[in-house]
Amino acid sequence: KLLIVEDDRLLSNALARSLRDAYAVDQAFDGEEGLFYAAQDVYDLVVLDVMLPERDGFSVLEALRAQGVDTPVLMLRPADKLRGLRSGADDYLAKPFDRDELLARIEAILRRTTGRRDVGIVAFKELALHTRTRQAFIADEPLALKGKQYDILEYLVSHQEQLVTKAQIFD
């Protein structure tokens, strides 16, 4: 699950469209809104622009790290790359950027931080979840799952060797 914090609505919507094939995506359009969403600590990655209204990306990132939120962050257009990295960013990408490079950087960060190789399919007995397309199948028959239903099922199957609390599911 990704959060895009970008005030340019055209760019944000274009990013969201291209990422929705592989990820669940939420959007925020200013620094305060981005901080609010990111502080919920339910995202696998935050794509964070530097130049934002209300609160710039550096202060959003610094506030997140001060709150103990360690969600990986890919910063867009950091004027000061060192400041971004020292503030806790995991990577940066200068604007304008290539869509394929953005996807590759997101996948690389997620591999490093989640420990998951992009396997594409998560399975449990006859249940198969195709993580790239967000489709679920039992014995090759498709299941009609909507957004959160799929998210919860994927979370449970991905943690099948662990005890999962109600609080973890709500998060």
What pLDDT is recorded for position 117?
44
Say yes or no to pLDDT of 93 above 80: yes
108: helix, strand or coil: helix
pLDDT greater than 50 at residue 143: yes
* pLDDT tens digits, one per residue of 27-67: 999 999 999 999 987 889 999 999 999 999 999 999 999 99
Query: Which tens digits make up the pLDDT trace of 110-133?
Result: 888 765 544 567 778 888 888 777
* pLDDT score at 119: 52
CA 95 to each of CA 70, 99, 101, 104, 165: distance values in angstroms, whole numbers, following the listed order: 24, 11, 11, 15, 41
Over residues 25-34, the pLDDT tens digits come to 999 999 999 9
- Please check the confidence at residue 23 and state whether its pLDDT lies above 90: no
Residue 52 makes CB contacts below 8 A (sequence gap 6+) with: 5, 6, 7, 30, 31, 34, 60
Q: Map 94-107 to HEC letters.
A: CCCCCHHHHHHHHH
Note the pLDDT of residue 12. 94
Q: What is the pTM of this model?
A: 0.66
pLDDT at 3 over 90: yes
Q: How far is the C-alpha of 94 from the C-alpha of 106, rounded, in Å?
A: 14
How confident is the model at residue 126, as a pLDDT? 87
* Cα–Cα distance for residue pair 149/45, rounded to 1 Å: 20
What's the confidence (pLDDT) of residue 115? 58
Note the pLDDT of residue 36. Answer: 96
